[in-house]
Structure 1
Amino acid sequence: MNREEISRIAHADHPIKSPLDDASVRQLLDRGLPRGDERVLDLGCGGGEWLLRALATRPHLHAEGVDISEDALGQARQAAGDLGVQDRLVLHHQPAADFASAEPFDLVISVGAAHAFGGLLPTLAAARKHLAPGGRVLIGDGFWERTPSQEAIEMLGDFADLATTVDRVAEDGWIPVHGHVSTRQELDAYEWACWGSLASWALDHPADPDSSHALATAATHRSEWLHVYRDTWGFLSLVLRQAPGHA
């Protein structure tokens, strides 16, 4: 069982692949899409859940998504067809960092995909290339709520604390117009959902040759969360606009 298949099963009950509940997702989209007829781009869209939710509630919106996973894009196409929004969604199978478009976008989304660009600021630099004048960026990434252990840093990455993270974004020429720090409930619900879904799949498919591997993977990730980073790692989502002179 490869990493992509593990991710698909783990997120079966939490299709937003970040520690955000449905109400937070709705509010972030509302702040990022004030008109409802915007052109939207998701860099690292996976199964397209952000775009699908935006399209389903905004009949005049058009969206594009970019991802390296052909399977995830196939899921997005199927879901778009089921929702009847396929005519307003374009999907691109390529690395998000390599994507180019002749038309700018009113909202660029990249939530939980900063690893594809090498970090938060490189992700914002990529978003800026695609942004229409007056447009917005919806970005989500991790931060350290408390001083982490070296093991946590090696496992998740070298994040900054919340204040430093926001300061760096502002110094890069962005103005936060909305923000959300994931709650303890959102963070815990995400981890329980992921590793519970994977464990449930393994228990429901005992004859599958990947069952034991899936069960062991769920146990490993659950233990890492509880013992290594649960009390130190947080998640920040921001809606940003460009500061004057930085467009």
Structure 2
Amino acid sequence: MDLPRIFTIRENSHRIHNPLTPAKLASLGESLHLAPGTRVLDLASGSGEMLCTWARDHGVTGTGVDISTAFTGRARARADELGVADRVQFLHGDASDHVADQPVDLAACVGATWIGNGVAGTAELLQRSLRPGGLMLIGEPYWRRTPPDEETATACHAAAIADFLELPDLIAEFQGIGYDVVEMTLADQDSWDRYTAAQWLTMRRWLDRNPDDELAPEVREGLATEPVRYARATREYLGWGVFALMKR
């Protein structure tokens, strides 16, 4: 049970595996007015940056769960580095069926709603761990503007235009499944650049070190095609945000 190796190659230099910059991640934490001792469950926690920095900056405690052995190891190392390993723990496992032993104050899935087969299923999964009146965080793509054709949508890593909604419709979807949207932090084009373009240098340096690896042709193809595709499609059409929800 692990992430495909190509993903860890591409994102090896990232601490945050989504297009929020460290400043935006910090701003999100500040906007939630997190009290010391807030109990957090972070499903698909990646390299643990959200949980670790919020433990350092706000005194939260909690657990992260992720399917990647590499990212889980990095999350544990980050907790040690920031001196918060006594407040947070990281488990290697399938987040799609993980429920906390005790209700938490904040339950999050930031950028991996595939664990619940979409927004509604992920909200239902998170709700199982959340105390009454607690906060839920969901990170999700949306269309900045609807692509003109399916080819453009595919270039934005969607299977079809219908996979994502425009921002007002995404907010309406959260409301439609019974939640108030009480905060949001959105990526902008610059933070998308920092997330995506940083992968190109990582890929190139990996190729230089591993020219005979079985994944080298796939990485080479990605490096040859993705910068143009990103500039033409993803940067112009795809948005991304983290939305704070409270059940009505």
Please indicate the TM-score interval, normalised by the length of the shorter structure: 0.7 to 0.9
Quick one: distance in 1 between partners of 2:34 and 2:54? Answer: 12
Q: Which residue of 2 aligns with 1:11?
A: 11
Quick one: distance in 1 between partners of 2:211 and 2:174? Answer: 49
Gaps of 5+ in 2: none
1:117-139: per-residue Cα shift (whole Å, max 9, x none)?
21122111111111112211122
Indicate how the Cα distance of structure 1 residues 33 and 4 shifts in structure 2: closer, same or farther if over 3 A, else same: farther
Indicate how the Cα distance of structure 1 residues 33 and 126 shifts in structure 2: closer, same or farther if over 3 A, else same: farther
Q: Which residue of 2 aligns with 1:27?
A: 27
Q: Which residue of 2 aligns with 1:190?
A: 195
Quick one: distance in 2 between partners of 1:3 and 1:170? Answer: 32
Quick one: distance in 2 between partners of 1:3 and 1:73? Answer: 11
Q: Which residue of 2 aligns with 1:218?
A: 223
1:176 to 181, 199, 205: 181
Across the aligned residues of Structure 1 and Structure 2, the Cα RMSD in angstroms comes to: 2.2
Indicate how the Cα distance of structure 1 residues 137 and 191 shifts in structure 2: closer, same or farther if over 3 A, else same: same
Is the Cα–Cα contact under 8 Å of residues 32 and 138 in structure 1 kept in the other structure? no
Indicate how the Cα distance of structure 1 residues 33 and 96 shifts in structure 2: closer, same or farther if over 3 A, else same: farther
Quick one: distance in 1 between partners of 2:33 and 2:65? Answer: 19
Indicate how the Cα distance of structure 1 residues 207 and 182 shifts in structure 2: closer, same or farther if over 3 A, else same: closer
Q: 1:39, CA displacement in angstroms?
A: 0.5
Q: 1:11, CA displacement in angstroms?
A: 2.7
Amino acid at match of 2:80: G
Indicate how the Cα distance of structure 1 residues 127 and 197 shifts in structure 2: closer, same or farther if over 3 A, else same: same
Quick one: distance in 1 between partners of 2:91 and 2:12? Answer: 23
Indicate how the Cα distance of structure 1 residues 208 and 29 shifts in structure 2: closer, same or farther if over 3 A, else same: farther
Q: Which residue of 1 aligns with 2:113?
A: 114
Quick one: distance in 1 between partners of 2:68 and 2:187? Answer: 26
Quick one: distance in 1 between partners of 2:3 and 2:226? Answer: 13
Q: Which residue of 1 aligns with 2:240?
A: 235
Are residue 66 (structure 1) and residue 65 (structure 2) matched? yes
Q: Which residue of 1 aligns with 2:45?
A: 45
Amino acid at match of 2:57: T
Amino acid at match of 1:131: L
Gaps of 5+ in 1: none
Q: Which residue of 2 aligns with 1:156?
A: 158
Q: Which residue of 1 aligns with 2:170?
A: 165
Quick one: distance in 1 between partners of 2:81 and 2:229? Answer: 37
Q: 1:200, CA displacement in angstroms?
A: 2.9
1:62-111: per-residue Cα shift (whole Å, max 9, x none)?
11011112222122112222222222222222211111222011111211
- Percent of pairs identical after alignment? 29
Indicate how the Cα distance of structure 1 residues 178 and 134 shifts in structure 2: closer, same or farther if over 3 A, else same: same
Indicate how the Cα distance of structure 1 residues 97 and 3 shifts in structure 2: closer, same or farther if over 3 A, else same: closer
Amino acid at match of 2:97: D
Indicate how the Cα distance of structure 1 residues 218 and 66 shifts in structure 2: closer, same or farther if over 3 A, else same: same
Amino acid at match of 1:14: H
Is the Cα–Cα contact under 8 Å of residues 67 and 93 in structure 2 kept in the other structure? yes
